[in-house]
Structure 1
Amino acid sequence: MVIDLQGSWTLLDGDNNKVCNVEIPGDIYTGLIDSGVKEDPYYGNNELDFQDLAKEDWVLQRSFNIEKLEDREVILDINSLDTYCDIYINRELVGKSENMFVPFKKNIKEKLVLGENKIDIKFHSAENRALELEKNHPYKLPYMILPLQSPARNYTRKVQCHSGWDWGPALMVSGIYNSIKINSYNQGVIESWDLDYKLDNSEVNINIIIEYRSLVKGSTSFNLYDGDIKTTYSRDVNVGLNIITINLNKGDVQLWWPNGYGDQPLYCFKLETLDEIKVKRVGFRDLEVISKEDKIGKSLYFRVNGVDIFSKGANWIPVDALPSRQSDDKYYSLIKDARDANMNTLRVWGGGQYEKDIFYDLCDEMGLLIWQDMMFSCSVYPADKEFLSNVESEIRYQIKRLKNHPSIGLWCGNNENVGALTWFEESRKDRDIYIIDYDRLNEGVLGKNIKKIDPNRAWWPSSPCAGEDDYSDCWHDDSRGDMHYWSVWHEGKSFDAYYDVIPRFCSEFGFQSYPSLDVVKSFAPEEELNITSPFMEHHQKNEKGNQIILETMSRYYRIPKDFENFLYVSQVQQSVAIKTAIEYWRSNRPTCMGILYWQLNDLWPVSSWSSIEYGGRWKPLHYQIKKIFEPVHLISYYKKDGSCSFSIVNDRLEDTLGDVKIDFKDFSGNSLWSKEFNITGVAQSVTKILDIDLESFDFNRTDGFFYISGGFEGRLITNTLFITEPKRCRINKCEISTVIEQRENGVSIKLLSNNPAFNVVLSSKDGSRFSDNDFTLLNGEERVIDVDGDIGLDDLNILCLNNSFI
């Protein structure tokens, strides 16, 4: 018997008055919005109207029918309850939940009756419970404070950014997520099953370890399907938990590779008993995390199937602030966008959530390695017995759930909690007690359980850090482990400050931009289309965000002529900032072996560090990422000491040969200086092409720009380099002509410009995806851009740096 309890539930307030219906799986706030009780919190400053809701209790209820009760156990199985809940069957309490990251499973057979039954789930205010826990704690546990947020979030085991973040709203949602059903069992329950394996060339030896809770004593059959091949194993079991081991040898397996290094073959295994069927897909690969002392400090990188991987990717936050809106389509689109931008790594950030199964399944399919944080971020956390016990249940469940995914590369304890030990006055004054608490939680519970459950995968205590038992300052020391480098944003340093560090693995850095005009119009009416309007400022959650964007803009660019161009130039400077860092750090391979920028996605419409806006539109940054993360890329950069450098980076496993031309052109497109080279890009390394001493260069830096182009294996690679701030350059206005032609699956746009046009960005009203964007269009060059959609000239908008100012 399986009873699916998804569908419409009745929502009651704390006084048991009916409010509306809520679709489950989903969250209560979305139910209030869909029923018209509340306005959408993403529009204007409607978020403020949801703050009092965080203090309310709610009840979700529905009925279901039972036709027979013949099995030994009837289990209520709820994947995720957010967060403090009492669960009732026919008005009798059957259990409580205090952690949204741990499923609720309870035998409810004795509470059921034949015919109609009622289930009620009472949700207690997580904010009220957090404040109560904080009040009763013997000393203060500080956390990052934001202008609008729910307090004391570090006491609750729910998504930390539900309380608000510097890119997200404070929406303390509650609800039932993923799945809710009633299962019946007669013989036993598969509590978990793992496939541990060892590779021997193209053969693999697999140990299948099953945790089986038997309801009877005797012989039980386990049917194992390796693809279509079925083998039956019989085992004697006792009542209670049994550990069953099945050995399987499998030959002629193909290895799983990260994106850009090979294919991602996945093998399907199915485990069947009398009561249930479980399915796993497994990719076989040999993965190591190399973190060793060397002459620089301490390395950090992934080695997959014997190949050292240069990690290229981004940080991942939840796909939407409202869980009901976290659709499968959004997951697919975002992960495909990451793969299509030549990424091979994503970091699941520790202030979000252990992601849904679809996320890891898609990463397996698309070859994206996962740096998996545990869900702790930017705080000091409790270390009392109750909290640690709660966390231990969470970690044991989540690691067992995820460990067989080939995409999981590393388990990380938290986000920035080592740094948090020094952020707050309380932890600085009494450092010992906070370090003891940190160690009890991070090593005593997280590290200990992870190493026991998954000993073959690396444990990394925190991000950033330099490894176990090392509390180095990995915000400012680039020599050890992973680094978070935020000086260019939070400290307001210029872009060339990226040249001051060469991280071994940079797992966070970023620069903000405003969203596009279409996204702004989704939350702001015409009268609010101003950078400092109330609605625009409400959708800027970083306190100094506008100030930093505008100060940086005045440092590098001429002030834009109107609101649309303000948004556009902010996105261009974001693209340039991240490009500056990535190209320089890639050129310093193998000292640096990993670059994960902050952040891939948004969870609501907002000014942020993302490369993909809420709704899925690529910012110029994401188009730029696609180019600068190519396995073979031409790199150019200049330093203010007067040096200019050109090189080719090749992440592939074989050399590549090509012809490269470096031009210095004036802003009418005339070549003032040029050199040509026949270059071999050596496999998995950086090959220098040319260094130029600009002090002895014959041309003024404001008179032109470098344009580098090269053909490698039939692919044209180009790059553009200004050697001073663009605002100082004598950039000409330009006229870009367009011709649109129909093709089989969309249209092609032919572009021509009378002068070199810089940072050309095409957009359309329907948010169409373009084959290229944020590029230089030379005069006399016909550039063809493909669009997967049917757009006309009236739908097309073209912006460029040349015409962004008066």
Structure 2
Amino acid sequence: MRLRRTDVRDGWTLLHLEGTAPVGVGGVRVPAEVPGTVHTALHAAGITEDPYLDDQESAQAWIGRSRWRYRTDFDLDDLGPGLDLVFDGIDTVATVRLNGHELGRPENMHRSYRYDIRAAARRGSNALEVDLESPVREADRRSLELGYRPHVNPHPFNALRKMASSFGWDWGIDTASVGIWRPVRVERWTARLSDVRPVATVEGSLGLLALHIDVARADRDRRLAVSVTIGGRTIRADLGRDTDRIVVDVEVPDVRMWWPRGHGDPALYDVTVALIDVSDPASETVLDVRDQRIGFRTVHLDTTPDEHGTPFTVQVNGRRIEVRGANWIPDDAFPHRVIRDRYAARIGQAKFAGLNLLRVWGGGIYESDDFYDLCDERGILVMQDFLFACAAYAEEEPLRGEVEAEAREAVTRLAGHPSLVILNGNNENLWGLHEWGYVSRLDGATWGAWYYHDLLPRIVEELAPHIGYTPGSPFTPASSGLGDDPDHNDPRHGSIHIWDVWNEKDYLDYLDYTPRFVAEFGWQAPPAWATLTRAVSDDPLTPESPGMVVHQKAINGNDKLTDGLLPHLRLPNDMSDWHWAMQLNQAAAIRTGIGWFRSRAPICSGTIVWQLNDCWPVTSWSAVDGDGRAKPMLYALRHVNREQLVTIQPAPDGLEAAILNDTDQRWDGELLLERRDYEGAILAEAAIAVAVGPRSAQRVRIPDEIGTASSPERELVVAALHGVRALWFFAEYRDSALASASFRAEVSRIPEGYELTVQARTLIRDLTLLIDKVDPAGFVDDALITLLPGEQTTLRIHSTEELDLETLSSPDVLRSANQLVPSVQVMPERPHVRA
């Protein structure tokens, strides 16, 4: 019998079992989707509102404090020699029964569960029930059983193997939902492939593939074989009757290497593994088939101490990779809703932003295979955290066994993806142990060290030796010589997180750091206007109106937004202006930080900005909001992540131009330098020959006559190399003589929508079309464009709406920094900085 899979998707109902609930919920069976959650089922049934709107978070808190039952019936016409019920994901603590027989009690959202149902199943109709415990009450109960362990946020998420951010985060809604969040199916089989784990390595031009294959048998009398097909070659191996595990080695000559984007083709090979019944040589039968795509590459994390400290450098195929990354959180608070098309859209936005790495953060989930498949195809590197974040974790049972089981399953599933180059032990737990006062609060209790320094590296070495491992982020490598218990956020050593800037300082303080690798840093802004006004119905809408406060999760977040804005722009009283000012300030902060860090190459080997995406409509650090709309920050990333970049930075003796060339070609030519006034007049100029080798950087001192202003409030520096341009403004927006924007605009139809051409009569800074204000589904190909007098730009607008010039050029849609500088008030004592 060939393996047969039957999805159990239909006929599910949901029943409230216990806990306080609104009138009309108790005793009522509600239709439910699987995969799904309680929240989404209740909303689909019209019982609750969209949990993302206004303060539905509080209104629906009862859901996570209740017990629930999922139920369905499914038919079986053939029980088969092997008969399993498979759950790819249950969230989280549950009891599973079939026809009244208890099958098991899963308690880990991050694992799958397989039950042999031959004793419980029957021909015809079968009744399946899944009772789900309250996650809030379970987390509280288990925190008492395991013993208190410190954590961020209100709920003890660290006592339960559930998506930590399901309980809320400083950007996330507290849903504490439960459900059957991944598919359920019945499998009938004689023998099956239980695991296929590829380990792909390279020796010279030879690709070496070791396929570790595990087989399950329902009938020991059958003779089995496996065949492996890759690159036009098929290799076959017999399994003895007592053999359930085999390693098939395949050589691929003249192998095409998998490269990250910007370095070459992300070459992939199709691999087919077939399990064959060879009991009768005259009529062999294929029992199970597994298809996947793999890539050949090498990975090395260089942490060899040097004269600057300890690097954290990612090398792929022996080549140093300048990491331009972003952190990834679950793309929805209800992650079952994130399907392949949505992954593709978000990873497409990452590519648009010039990113070459996504870090899957440890308070979320191991994403579906679609995520990693798309990263494989597009050459996007992945750093995958094991699922520990911002807390201490007990090392005792039952948590200990659950952690090992989930880690083994995750590494086995993900090992074949060439995009996965780093497995990371945890998020901020090593650093936080001392930084957040956890040592004294633990009072000698275990906190997770055994996981990060023993268990997880052993699992990676055993199951995925071709993938790099680091115990945590941030992390100071042992090679630094700082001892067994160093400060794990030292800019001189390893990877660091920079959060004091957002929390306490101004974004110009990024320039005080010369880090080796930045794995987190970021700046907040509200979501796109269409997203904000869909989710928050306050009237009037203000930064501090009730719904806005609910959709701002950062501690003192609005105060930090204001404090971070005022050094650069005045605080607007109009809500639309406030919204634009905060989005612009976020974009300016990120381009300042990344521009500076990149200019420190090769000392700094990369950045991973916090964060690419959001899980609901919220004011946060994201470049793409919870409805999938680009914020101006996404365009700032696109500009500052160019493979060839010119940026102007302060130096001890004035200004310098940093020229970054992350390509395989030399970048030679004359660097043109000008000091201009805001009317466009050239006040001083020079040309300096530069020769920047492949994958290298060069810094050029800017002559004093160009780098020193006569009137800082009305002058700037322009540096250009082969059309790649950088600007330096001597004064902040608010302290400058920036006049009202004057321009000529025209619009024309194109197949995708429109082209809007804007020609500047005056200096226009950060010209941005907020297309969502007139077409929530629209997209613009560029933003944050600064035009000198006489220059023009053309924006390509993707839209199906009927739009005209008056609409597109209205002051609330076509935005610029000029609009936020209503009057000139020169304050020369402020530091001179670039924009």
Q: Same fold (TM over 0.5)?
A: yes
CA drift at 1:560:
2.7
Q: Residues 236 and 178 (structure 1 numbering): CA distance in 2 closer, same or farther, change over 3 Å?
A: same
**Aligned-pair CA distance for 1:217:** 4.1
What is the Cα-based RMSD across aligned positions, in Å? 2.0
Question: Do 1:540 and 1:607's aligned partners in 2 also have CA atoms closer than 8 Å?
Answer: yes
Matches within 5 A, 1:299-338: 299-338=311-350
Q: Counterparts in 2 of 1:199-210, with a 5 A limit?
A: 199-210=202-213
Q: Aligned equivalents of 2:507 and 2:548: distance in 1?
A: 25
Going from structure 1 to structure 2, the CA distance change for 1:249 and 1:696 (only over 3 Å counts) comes to closer
Deviates more, 1:764-773 or 1:300-309: 764-773
Match of 1:736 in 2: 743
Partner of 1:271: 273
Instruction: Tell me, yes or no, if the aligned pair for 1:217 and 1:236 is still in contact at 8 Å.
Output: no
The answer (yes or no) to whether the contact 1:383–1:441 under 8 Å persists in 2 is yes
Shift of 1:426: 5.5
| Residue of structure 2 in register with 1:643 after alignment | 654
Determine the C-alpha separation between the residues in 2 that align with 1:426 and 1:359: 34
**Following superposition of structure 1 onto structure 2, how do residues 143-154 of structure 1 map, counting pairs within 5 Å?**
143-145=151-153, 149=154, 151-154=155-158
Per the TM alignment, residue 429 of structure 1 is displaced from its structure 2 partner at its CA by 5.5
**Residues 656-805 of structure 1: matches in 2 within 5 Å?**
656-693=667-704, 697-711=708-722, 716-764=723-771, 765-766=774-775, 767-790=777-800, 792-793=803-804, 795-796=807-808, 797-805=813-821
Structure 2 CA distance for aligned equivalents of residues 790 and 709 of structure 1 = 37
Distance 1:725 1:471, change over 3 A: farther
Contact 1:632 1:650 in 2 (8 A): yes
Q: Tell me the equivalent position of 1:95.
A: 104
Q: Which amino acid counterpart does residue 70 of structure 2 have in structure 1?
A: L
Q: 1:88 to 1:698 in 2, by over 3 A?
A: closer
Matched, 1:421 2:433: yes
In the other structure, the counterpart of 1:78 is 87
1:531-610 alignment runs, 5 A limit = 531-560=543-572, 562-610=574-622
CA drift of 1:194 comes to: 1.9
CA–CA distance in 2 between the matches of 1:685 and 1:255?
A: 23
TM-score, with length taken from structure 2? 0.91
The residue aligned with 1:119 is 128
Equivalent in 474, 494, 497 of residue 484 of structure 1: 497
Number of aligned residue pairs: 788
- Cα displacement string for residues 345-367 of structure 1 (whole angstroms, at most 9, x for unaligned residues): 11110011111111000000111
The alpha carbon displacement at 1:130 in A equals 1.2
**CA shift digits 1:674-695 (9 cap, x unpaired):** 2233432222221123335589
Q: Secondary structure at the match of 2:628?
A: coil
- 8 Å contact 1:198–1:204 — kept in the other structure? yes
Q: After TM superposition, give the deviation of residue 514 of structure 1 in Å.
A: 1.7
Cα offset, 1:669, TM superposition: 2.4
Taking the aligned partners of 2:29 and 2:575, their CA distance within structure 1 comes to 42
Q: What code does the residue aligned with 2:744 have? A: S
- Please identify, of 456-465 and 551-560, the stretch whose mean Cα deviation from structure 2 is larger: 551-560
Q: Which moved further from structure 2: 310-319 or 554-563?
A: 554-563
1:672 Cα deviation after fit = 2.1
| 1:43 aligned counterpart, secondary structure | coil
**Which of 228, 234, 256 lines up with 1:224 in the alignment?**
228
Deviation at 1:636, TM superposition (A): 1.0
Would you say 1:446 and 2:468 are equivalent positions? no
* CA distance 1:52–1:250, shift in 2 (3 Å): same
Match of 2:169 among 165, 172, 196: 165
Q: For 1:490, what is the secondary structure of its paired residue?
A: helix
**8 Å Cα contact 1:561-1:804 kept in structure 2:** no
2:519 counterpart of 1:507: yes
1:527 counterpart SS class: coil
Q: Which amino acid aligns with 1:726?
A: Y
Deviation at 1:670, TM superposition (A): 2.3
Residue aligned with 1:488, SS: helix
Q: What is the alpha-carbon distance in structure 2 between the residues aligned to residue 690 and residue 8 of structure 1?
A: 71
1-structure distance, mates of 2:351, 2:728: 27
Q: Is the 8 A contact 1:80 1:177 kept in 2?
A: yes
Q: What are the ranges of 5 or more consecutive residues in structure 1 without an aligned counterpart?
A: none
> Cα–Cα, structure 1 residues 429 and 163, in superposed 2: closer, same or farther, change >3 Å?
closer
Corresponding residue for residue 198 of structure 1: 201
Q: Distance in 1 between matches of 2:611 and 2:201?
A: 35
Partner of 2:829: none
Identity percentage of aligned residues: 26
Other-structure match for 1:516: 528
Q: Is the 8 A contact 1:142 1:424 kept in 2?
A: no
The whole-number CA distance in structure 1 between the counterparts of 2:800 and 2:757 is 15
Within 1, Cα distance between the matches of 2:692 and 2:555? 45
Query: CA–CA distance in 1 between the matches of 2:459 and 2:40?
Result: 36
Residues 1:344 and 2:352 are matched in the alignment: no
Write out per-residue CA displacement over residues 364-417 of structure 1, whole angstroms, 9 at most, x where no aligned residue. Answer: 011111111001100011111211011110001000000110001111110001
Alignment gaps of 5+ in structure 2: 19-25, 276-285, 823-835
Residue 86 of structure 1, CA deviation: 0.6
- How far did residue 746 of structure 1 move? 3.1
| 1:157 to 1:295, Cα distance in 2 relative to 1, 3 A | same
Q: 1:136 aligns with which of 137, 140, 145?
A: 145
How much does 1:41 deviate?
1.4
Q: Structure 1's 696 and 521: CA in aligned 2 closer, same or farther, altered over 3 A?
A: closer
Q: Secondary structure at the match of 2:95?
A: strand
Q: Contact between 2:654 and 2:707, CA under 8 Å: does it hold in 1?
A: no
Using the alignment, how far apart are the partners of 2:181 and 2:757 within structure 1?
47
Cα distance in 1 for residues equivalent to 2:384 and 2:629: 26
Q: Distance in 1 between matches of 2:452 and 2:35?
A: 32
What is the aligned partner in structure 2 of residue 620 from structure 1?
632
Q: What's the offset of the Cα at 1:487? A: 1.6
Letter in 2 for 1:756: L
Deviations 1:764-786 (A, max 9, x none): 22242222101102221121122
Pick from 368, 376, 398 the counterpart of residue 364 of structure 1: 376
Q: Specify the code of the residue in structure 2 equivalent to 1:247.
A: D
